[in-house]
Amino acid sequence: MKVVIVGGVAGGMSAATRLRRLNESAEIIVLEKGPYVSFANCGLPYYVAGEIEERNDLLVQTPEALQARFELDIRPYSEAVAIDTKQKEVAVRTIEGEYKLSYDKLILSPGAKPFIPSAKGLEEAKNIFTLRSVPDVDAITAFIEEENPKKAVIIGAGFIGLEMAESLVHRGLDVTIIEKAPQVLPPLDEEMAVYITKELNANGIELHTGAAAESFEEEGKVIVLDNGERLESDITLMSVGVKPETNLALTAGIETGLSGGILVNEQYETSQKDIYAVGDAIVVKQQINGEDTMIALASPANRQGRQVADVISGLPRKNKGSIGTAIVRVFNQTAASTGLNERQLKQANEKYEIVHIQGKSHAGYYPNAGTILLKLLFNPLNGKIYGAQAVGEDGVDKRIDIIATAIKAGMSVHELPELEFTYAPPYGSAKDPVNMAGYAALNIIEGVSDSIQWHELEARQEEGYLLLDVRNENELVNNGRLKGAMNIPLDQLRERLSEVPKHQPIIVSCHSGLRSYIAERILKQKGYKVKNLDGAFALYSTVRPEKVEK
């Protein structure tokens, strides 16, 4: 069997090495149009920052090493430019010329390429870069060393954009970010992204959200925004997203779908016989709701590469889809998400509920416990977990990984309190934030608690709800109070119930939501109509600081 793989890195190289482990006699050829077939593209921003000091550390495997260990025929600087499906041949372009390469099975792993929006003056700009490969990072670092830029502009506040913002700050540049969406990190919901915005501001980054680059002047030295603002830039990074690299697939008449991605079935087969596809270029199923989506992440690409090798080797594997689990460090904060966010659930007309849990990365009484804000989205009828997001200084990865695993395992919120984690004070809490999110979700499902979200508070107050703050007086003095709130500390509530009007519906709030839940239970059992402000003062005051009175 002769297998030709177009594209290396995550999907292609996982397929090649797995194929060899399963088929010692197969002829396996990997075509890579660039110089490097196996490199750590997720590490590129950290090389720019200097955290990864040696460039060679980015190169995971060389063609020589892959030949020696796996007997793979690795061909760098070899671009597949056309496919003849009838003759089962690939046209390959090299520096020396073009040749035809036959195949029995063909695996396409072309990846994705940076999306470059059209803008006046962009072609004349000489200081604009993208970051997807080692040559890209070489160009960026060479420009920094040779031109000594002072001001950097990053267009796009997604994961790569924010990682590069931090990296360039570490290199001593003044950094400005432009993001067309109204918030940074569009995969996160608004209130969660606010914490990352605060961290960016705290580190001196100028942020322009709800704005786009309309034109470039003076060979890219001046960027004109669609709101009329003009920004100076010595170096600009375009990081507005990626689009699937499908030109080769189109030459073979392969069917494409969402966003131009390659359509594959559960065995990664394309619409053309004996041609398979994996990685960032393919359309996958969002495993939670079965909808078509594009997920350009390393972990799914690696898994797909291994699975397609299994399929070709006759093993029973199916592409079950992906849920989109991702994480980013932004200076001292970490943000991570898995599954669907609120915007996606609204677009799909799904019925959902939310709980926000504020917990600690490990036992609060043990030194250096960091705060984690965890958001869980779920179906209130059956407890199905739709997704989760978290922000904090430490322990965010652990909690999102746990919930991502629960989603993949088909668990509901009913199982979250039952999960058992290792516990010692330096590592966790006896009641982990994931457990607590499960408890809070169950309280909503079972009618023990009713909540409202931060963005609903003002409307409810206008409807006549009384806001009752059960924090202590010193907390109000030190942290501020919410406008229009009545204050009765929780420990005095039972004795001062006569002060709470029974004819008026109540919204209770505390610092994080725990004490207000206790207040809710007290009041409900006394005949009051009560709702708990989910996330409480800590969340609301972060998203709506203008509503806090000092």
| Whole-number pLDDT of residue 60 | 85
Tokens for 184?
């940074």
Catalytic positions, written as ranges: 42
Tens digit of pLDDT for each residue in 121-179?
A: 999 999 999 999 999 999 999 999 999 999 999 999 999 999 999 999 999 999 999 99
The pLDDT of residue 405: 98
Question: What distance in Å separates the CA atoms of residue 539 and residue 51, rounded to the nearest whole number?
Answer: 33
pLDDT for 41 equals 86
The predicted model scores a pTM of 0.95
Residue type, 260: G
Is 90 exceeded by the pLDDT of residue 489?
yes
Q: What is the DSSP letter of 59?
A: B
Predicted confidence at residue 43, as pLDDT, reads 93
Q: Which residue has the tokens 């080692």?
A: 134
* Nearest Cα to Cα of residue 114 among 13, 271, 243: 243
Share of the chain above pLDDT 70, in %: 100
Write out 397-463 in H/E/C secondary structure: HHHHHHHHHHHHCCCEHHHHHHCCCCCCCCCCCCCCHHHHHHHHHHHHHCCCCCEECHHHHHHHHHH
Edge-to-edge strand order for the sheet containing 530-533? 451-452, 530-533, 506-509, 466-469, 486-487
Q: What DSSP string describes 73-84?
A: EEETT-EEEEEE
Supply the mean pLDDT for the chain.
96
Is 90 exceeded by the pLDDT of residue 9? no
The predicted structure's pLDDT at residue 437: 98
Confidence of residue 52 (pLDDT cuts 50, 70, 90): very high
- Which residues 6+ apart lie within 8 Å of 163 measured at CB? 45, 46, 328, 329, 330
The pair of structure tokens assigned to 315 is 């093993």
* pLDDT digit string, tens, across residues 206-257: 999 999 999 999 999 999 999 999 999 999 999 999 999 999 999 999 999 9
DSSP characters for 336-353?
EEEE--HHHHHHTT---E
Tell me the per-residue pLDDT of 17-51, one tens digit each, with 9 for 90 and over: 999 999 999 999 999 999 988 888 899 999 999 99
Q: What is the per-residue pLDDT for 61?
A: 86
In the predicted structure, residue 355 carries a pLDDT above the cut 90: yes
Coil, helix or strand at residue 128 = strand
SS3 164: helix
The β-bridge partners of 235 are 152
CB-CB neighbours of 134 under 10 Å: 18
- Does residue 118 register a pLDDT over 90? no
